[in-house]
Structure 1
Amino acid sequence: MAGGAQTRQAEAGKRYDVFHTDCPARDVVDHVTSRWGVWVLISLRSNSLRFYELRDSIQGISEKMLAQTLRALVQDGLVWREVEPTAPPQVTYGLTEFGRDVGEPLTELFDRITRRLPSAAQ
């Protein structure tokens, strides 16, 4: 996680200017709110998953987009990645503490929306 966006510190007492195009916090927000970023964070909210389990849990995502999204979220420090030295390598992903913190309001939003929608049986 070293070098992740959450570890970069603003000057003491100052907050990031998220409206400035060079703000590192803006990049994290862009990754989290990207088309697939939200779904990755929600899918990992309960437990860690291997790459193909994660792909199967998010219908419609291609392997390429999943790999790109995971790469960005790992770089931001929201998701951890563990490679098991097997043949072929097994890669597992999960949420870091920062990822859980950011994902919590997304999960609440998801839960509020699904509670308010009419029943799927209707």
Structure 2
Amino acid sequence: MAVVRWTDEMLDELSSSVSEMRESMRESISELRESISEVKDSVEGLRITSQALLQVAAQHQRHMEQMEERQAEREERQAKMEQRQAEMEKQQAEMKQRQAENDERFNILLEEVRYLIRRNDN
């Protein structure tokens, strides 16, 4: 095997190449650090956004639950009102029936009074 002797020129070129490689690696590391920092910022932004979205979703869910509760309450009140309306209509029908019966009794009594008056006049 042949022994190669390094000349000053070869050593200078090697040193220059190593320096260029070192500088290139420093730049790459610096760019990588910037990229990592940007990714961290993006992740933090996504975390904040996801928390905000979760809060909005929770508020929306609460709002929907409240609306459903109110709707159930309205339906319950509506059912009670319909029941009261039916009861009132039934009472009105009963009152009309009693009024008709009272009118009939009054007319019968009136006829009897007229009959008695005519009988006394004769």
Larger Rg: 2
| Greater relative contact order, per chain length (Cα 8 Å cut-off, separation 6+) | 1
TM-score tier, shorter chain, comes to: under 0.3
State TM-score, norm by structure 1. Answer: 0.19
State TM-score, norm by structure 2. Answer: 0.19
